[in-house]
Structure 1
Amino acid sequence: MLNRVILIGRLTKDPELRYTPSGVAVTQFTLAVDRPFTSQGGEREADFIPVVTWRQLAETCANYLRKGRLTAVEGRIQVRNYENNEGKRVYVTEVVADNVRFLESNREGGNSSGGGAMREEPSYGGGGRGNGNGNGNYTRNNQDPFSDDGKPIDISDDDLPF
């Protein structure tokens, strides 16, 4: 069986960093992901997907992600439930991320590294850890890689690997 999800979207607000009673960092944020079609009025619709990160990855996301930033998330879908104050069962569907990539450099000019990647590594009793290798240069000069809206790409046959 397989439970993997990859999303690319923009943060709807700054991530919220919290700590569990045992001291484990957890960050929650919502990713707005455009749907691949427009409504009858010609407007683009989006899905707002809750994302959760843990441990070092959570702290890194809280430090570097900001509202509106283009971000890629890889993880798994999780459905959990709890009983609210009124005694009703509430179901929550979210993405638990183990890999987050920053697809734009920081617009505020504080950190212009851009294209960073973080991955939550599996934990074997001691808790996971992330690494911030900057090998994910998906954008150049702060340009959105999907801004051409499906127009043909100008590329020669010599540039293709096949």
Structure 2
Amino acid sequence: MSSDYPITGFYFRLTFPLELGLLDTSFKEVSGMAMEMGIEEIAEGGENRFKHRVPTGAKYQNLVLKRGLTTSVSALSLWCEATLAGGLSSTIIKQTVIVSLMDENSLPIKNWSFVNAWPVKWEFSPLNSMNNEIVIETLELTYDYSLVL
């Protein structure tokens, strides 16, 4: 009998190898881990019954990270602020982001690497005096390509 059960997705770790040293951060949610093949439709001359569909290359969604806001200033926050506030007048520092799915012994069982990532959006959940909710920080990253390690 096989013990190869489906993997649960609640225990994961994100690693950002920033210049300040390896940065390991906690997030409550990671989404956008998707890739698809782009397709172009080409009509054949004289044949109107169908169109040829040819691949155009891989397309990736933005990686969306969510976590509770804390009072500490992290290297990750400084990187986001420098990239987004710098606009086009400063160099964008790209990083490799590694998402590791962990087992019950805190060992990685699956890894995804997002190469040349940089922040394109940084937002915070609304502040509402009628709610007693944790403020959620959302970071959206774009990247060149991803690898399953």
TM-score by length of 2: 0.28
TM-score (norm 1): 0.26
Q: Which has the higher strand share?
A: 2
Structure having the higher Rg: 2
